[in-house]
A and B are shown apart, each in its own frame.
Chain A
Amino acid sequence: MYRYDEFDHAMVKDRVEQFRGQIARRMAGDLTEEQFRPLRLQNGLYLQLHAYMLRVAIPYGQLNAVQMRKLAHIARTYDKGYGHFTTRQNIQYNWPKLSQVADILDELASVEMHAIQTSGNCIRNTTADQYAGVTADEIEDPRIYAEIIRQWSTFHPEFTFLPRKFKIAVSGAVGADRAAVRFHDIGLFIVKNDAGEVGFEVWVGGGLGRTPMIGKKIRGFVAKADLLAYLEAVLRVYNMLGRRDNMYKARVKILVHETGTEEFTRLVEKEFEDTQGGALDLPAEEIDRIAAYFQPPAYEALSDDPPALTARRFEDKDFNNWVRVNVARHKAAGYAIANISLKPVGVPPGDVTADQMDAVADIAETFSLGGIRVTHEQNLVLPDVRQDQLYDLWLALREQGLADANLDHIGDIICCPGLDYCSLANARSIPIAERISQRFADLERQYDIGELRLKISGCINACGHHHVGHIGILGVDRKDQEYYQITLGGAPGEDAAIGTKVGAAFSAAEIVDAVETVVNTYLAIRQPKERFIDTFRRVGDAPFKESLYDKAA
């Protein structure tokens, strides 16, 4: 993984000291809250319902065991023994004290981490495919470019006060989008052109929130050398023309929508004429220098499906299910990608205890060459596991309560913090996720239902990605009562789609039954091998509407 050089170290250290001074001045009364608020947000510190919340950046979701132990230590020392992994591959602490935040940031800096680019109207922490570098379906490792973007975007003076926050995601995979790339302000796919050169396909103006939109492809190929020049051109157009009069219309998706994709593209291309071939040119040797940090480890010469694994799968049904559901194909023979579901039954999705974090760090060192990834589905990944060690890994995870075999099934719910923590929320989301996971706790039933992406947001800002859930749930407030709308047919990946509202909202007491009705309707009408989303696309929402709303008829 990338290691800080002296510039990174100095920059982060200076930033912590600067913020330490700002906190001291706030506590001493030299800064008002109004003056202090933008400063704390630039350092990832929010004020939520019950306390401050610190959001820590995990660039492109990559951690090592040392960093994970530090995150555990922070949870234990400065918080209530928990951390919460988010839908942007970051981690949040829900109970830090303002008086201790600088110390926390010092601790993070000691392991090359920080909370920069996790708030404010800047270019936020860049996300990537969690299988980057280890999946066989990849043209090139997207982490290389996510890191280059990180270095270009951190403290970029021209883009410190954008109209609104700006999120970039990168994927190098062919035919699989695991990073919801089309729902970012800029989405980059690594592609090959007809001449066999590797470059980027650029999508702009995707996003969720109150106006969900799938991004528009504005260029089929940008050469590697031009990557930053092209990004700068897009950002420049947005910075100049993006709406600053209305917070809800300030994201680039609205600009693209109001300007029209064709005109927006023309403006970007015109700007690109200025930025191309200048100081932003990305030399091949610089790409190579960064790529060196992401060189694959020396894999041993092994074979797929070793007898030890096959025998264990045959003997132990639970283990076999976990392998079938949570383990993905690795590019190196004899290795595997193991997903750790952070969605045990009845537990807030994405929450991990300090002890579990320590255990994951140990497990990563023992079984995965020290590597860990965070996914936007609020799960963890161990990227480099020997197949003949999968069983021992599974036993170790099971001991920690981290062996739930529910990846991409109805138990694997994405869920924002909701009104239990968040000052923006209208309704709670976590208790709904907990109750749905309890209702569908039977894994055999989950496997019968098959792949089903269920996503819950506690307000229209859609941090729980409900728009792209096969089943999405949106919490709304009606006369101080929590109600929940259901959307159907969304999809985050290659087959990106935005779900549509199925009808009137359900009360908190009804919503779990309503979800079950939707699932049962699908089970009754599905054809062989159809996933929920396939059935929905074949039949539309009529059968679901009927079973949800026409019961009285």
Chain B
Amino acid sequence: MMQQVVTGNRLADGVVIYLGQDGGWTSKIDAARVAADADEAKLLEDIAKAAEKARMVVGPYLIEVTDTAGAVTPVRYRERLRAYGPSVHPEFGRADVPDHLRMGSEAEFVHLNGVAG
């Protein structure tokens, strides 16, 4: 079973957010609460559904991540783009992205073929 976190977009401004360790929502994926098994994932989903009703988040869903010493990285490429911002216009990306996960203007191809690879 893969580790999972819940993500969605914040209602008021559309910003990408994650269900956090403290039960609130955070824009930093490293602060997301990671579910290690199916039961915990189900629990996160239930919390997220309640948060959707409470108009905090739009369209929450579970994504697979790897959690290495507190650095939470989405498995799927699309989700890495959501977590770190578009790979074009580096100024739109997030300031808190670890350098090795940056997808800048990409002179190098290594990023294109899987950032975490």
Contacts and interface: CB of A to CB of B under 8 A. Distances in A.
Interface string B9-53: 101111110000000000000000000000000000000000010
Contacts of A266: none
A547 interface: no
A204 to B, nearest CB: 36
B82 A434 contact: no
Contacts of A52: 13-14
B112 A49 contact: no
Given A29-B55, A97-B14, A49 B89 contact: no
A481 interface: yes
Contacts of B112: 428, 431, 482, 507-509
Contact of B87 (A346, A428, A480): A428
A49 B78 contact: yes
Interface string A93-109: 00111110000000000
Interface size of A as a range? 35 or more
Q: Tell which of B52, B76, B89 has the most Cβ of chain A within 10 Å.
A: B89
B76 to A, nearest CB: 6
Contacts of A507: 112-113
B19 to A, nearest CB: 17
Interface of A is mostly: mixed
Contacts of B52: 33
B58 interface: yes
Nearest to A512: B109
Interface in A205-222: none
Nearest to B9: A47
B94 to A, nearest CB: 10
Interface residues of B, number: 31
B95 interface: no
A452 interface: no
Contacts of A82: 89
Contacts of A49: 16, 78, 81-82, 86
B70 interface: no
A435 interface: yes
Contacts of A430: 87-88
A428 B115 CA distance: 14
Q: Tell which of A26, A480, A482 has the most Cβ of chain B within 10 Å.
A: A480
Q: Which 8 residue pairs spanning A and B have beta carbons closest together?
A: A508-B112, A51-B14, A509-B109, A420-B86, A97-B13, A52-B14, A430-B88, A99-B12
Interface of A: 26-27, 29, 33, 47-52, 80, 82, 95-99, 346, 348, 351, 419-421, 428, 430-431, 434-435, 477, 480-482, 507-509
Given A98-B14, A482-B112, 8 more contacts: A26-B11, A29-B55, A50-B82, A51-B15, A80-B91, A430-B88, A431-B88, A482-B77
27 contacts: A26-B11, A26-B55, A27-B11, A27-B55, A33-B52, A33-B59, A47-B58, A48-B14, A49-B86, A50-B14, A50-B15, A50-B82, A51-B9, A51-B16, A52-B14, A80-B91, A96-B14, A97-B12, A97-B14, A98-B13, A98-B14, A351-B89, A421-B86, A431-B88, A481-B114, A507-B112, A508-B112
